[in-house]
Chains A and B, each alone.
Chain A
């Protein structure tokens, strides 16, 4: 912050009127309290806060716009020729997977956001409000869902531009994206937990990378796992990211992969139950 900026600020302060005791008294006389907001209403209000933050700090959309475009182009042109003969053929296989991978990777920014927020006093304010306890956390994640939608749309746009032609049509794509959003929302509770657990933003980032890299790369996003060694196949075939990307791939291709969808939803419920509970324990204790 420069000295000049500080000076203008002080000047502004002087121009502002002094608070008046009468106005204040008039405001304080009214002691009735509206009823406590519902869990949904409180969560949506926190979601609105996330939207306001995007409005004031639009740079934070960088990771849901530029980053996904990079991912699609990089992997399509890097592996396309070698793995499938051509980019336009490979993109049919790659796009749903890279969409899953990008969005799942983006979820880790939630932990960083939670962590920086706690360091500021505003968290204390939220925690002294008589509201449904998980509302601030759910609000974060609702805001993040909007970011995930943006990322998914951007990736689809790039994919379509370089030759992705899914057979599932609009409905198949919508179903695939919806499943991805459900999973990402549930998966994000891992990051809210880390955000509350770890002390600094840097350590959150570090731990997140360690979790996210193997989880997304050791999957069927890039290639069919059949050529992998047996022990790796065991991991890859059972990884939630593989299940999710198969489900999304099939949905977008116009099929109905009931088993993959069920497994993905099962993972989602499990993640919320385990990490949601853990997050709230940390939140209440902090």
Chain B
């Protein structure tokens, strides 16, 4: 039994390193090579004990609730929208995979921020002029999506709230 301990530990160590590394590899690859889209969002600020503060993002949907894949259309303003849902993987055009089974849920719902900046960001977005555009930039590759930034009128939210705001 004792002779298996060290090999067992080495296998465990490798697994513990490989699982997060693989996740990082997949997401980083999307960030590097995926196509860029912008989705309009409404943010609020909750808290996660493990992963810190984040801004909860709500990307409005104009379509129904059922379907595994959402077909993306970019409007005249340059913002992306899910315009059609389907259970089959689309043969052509950009699409995003639902993050839940059973109904369509956009995989844009969290944006992690510094613990001091997140509440400020939420307050800023709540009090902002309604004409200001709040949106996220995302990278999409083969239906997988990674959020890369949260912007208000083209300025990253971190920049706006870094030194407070009036």
Q: Are A and B physically bound partners? A: no
Report B's interface with A, CB cutoff 8 A: none
Report A's interface with B, CB cutoff 8 A: none
